[in-house]
Structure 1
Amino acid sequence: MSTLPEAAAVTGAAEAPAPRRETLHYAVRNPKLLVGLAIVLLLLLAGLVGPLLLDSSDPNEYVGPQAAAPGGDYPLGTTTFGQDVWAQFVYGLRATFLVGVVGGGIAAVIAMLVGFLAGYRGGLVDEVLNMLTNIVLVIPTLAVLLIVNAYLGVRSVPVQGVFIGVTSWPWAARSIRAQTLSLRGREFVDLARLSGSRTWRIVFREIAPNMNSYLFMMFILLFGGAILIASSLDFIGLGPTDGVSLGLMLQSAQQWSALQLGMWWWFVPPGAGITAIVGGLYVANVGLDEVFNPKLRES
Structure 2
Amino acid sequence: MTNVAGAPGADKAEPTVGGERRFAETLHFARRNPKLLIGLGIVLGFFLLGLIGPLFVDHDPNEYVGPQSQPPNGEFWLGTTSFGQDIWAQFVYGVRSTFLIGFFGGGVAFLVGTAVGFVAGYKGGWVDDVLNMLTNVVLVLPAMVVLIVAIAYLDARGVLIQGIFIGLTTWPWAARAVRSQTLSLATRDYVDLARLSGRRTWRIITSELAPNMSSYLVMTSILLFGGAVLTAAGLDFIGLGPTNGVSLGLMLENAVQWSALQLGLWWWFIPPGLGITVIVSSLYILNVGLDEVFNPKLREL
- TM-score (normalizing by structure 2): 0.93
Using the alignment, how far apart are the partners of 1:242 and 1:79 within structure 2? Answer: 17
Distance (Å, rounded) in 1 between the aligned partners of 2:263 and 2:207: 59
1:126 maps to: 128
Residue 3 of structure 1 corresponds to which residue in structure 2?
none
**Aligned position for 1:22:** 25
Alignment partner, residue 39 of structure 1: 42
Question: Identity percentage over the alignment?
Answer: 67
For 2:170, what is the secondary structure of its paired residue?
coil
Separation of aligned partners in 2, 1:72 and 1:64? 13
Give the match for residue 55 of structure 1.
Answer: 58
Aligned-residue RMSD, C-alpha? 1.2
Distance in 1, matches of 2:153 and 2:259, equals 27
- How far residue 42 of structure 1 moved from its aligned partner, in angstroms, is 0.7
In the aligned structure 2, how far is the partner of 1:128 from the partner of 1:242?
41
Structure number with the higher helix fraction is 2
- Residues in 2 aligned to 1:41 and 1:275: alpha-carbon distance in whole angstroms: 15
Structure 2 regions of 5+ residues with no counterpart? 1-17
Letter in structure 2 aligned against 1:183: L
Shift of 1:134: 0.4
Structure 1 residue 115 displacement after superposition: 0.3
Instruction: Give, in whole Å, the separation in 2 of the partners of 1:290 and 1:230.
Output: 29
Match of 2:173 in 1: 171
Closer/same/farther in 2, CA of residues 23 and 166 from structure 1, 3 Å limit: same
Distance in 2 (CA, whole Å) between partners of 1:298 and 1:273 is 31
Structure 1 distance, partners of 2:181, 2:219, is: 14
Match of 1:80?
Answer: 82
Q: Which residue of 1 aligns with 2:192?
A: 190
**Residue 283 of structure 1: which of 270, 279, 285 is its match?**
285
- Give the Cα–Cα distance (whole angstroms) in 2 for the partners of residues 268 and 254 of structure 1: 11
Shift of 1:55: 1.3
CA shift in 2, pair 1:298/1:52, >3 Å: closer
State how far apart, in whole Å, the 1-side matches of 2:224 and 2:100 are.
13
Deviation at 1:242, TM superposition (A): 2.4
Q: What is the rounded CA distance, in whole Å, between the counterparts of 1:236 and 1:222 in structure 2?
A: 21
What letter matches 1:37 in structure 2? L
User: TM-score scaled by structure 1?
Assistant: 0.93
Deviation of residue 29 (structure 1)? 1.2
What is the CA distance between 1:27 and its match in structure 2?
A: 0.7
Q: Return the index of the structure with the highest Cα Rg.
A: 2
How many angstroms apart in 1 are the aligned matches of 2:191 and 2:264? 63
Partner residue in 1 for 2:100: 98
Which residue of the partner structure matches residue 12 of structure 1?
none
Q: Which moved more, 1:192-201 or 1:228-237?
A: 192-201
1:298 Cα offset (Å): 4.2
CA distance in 2, matches of 1:227, 1:95: 9
Cα–Cα, structure 1 residues 75 and 298, in superposed 2: closer, same or farther, change >3 Å?
A: closer
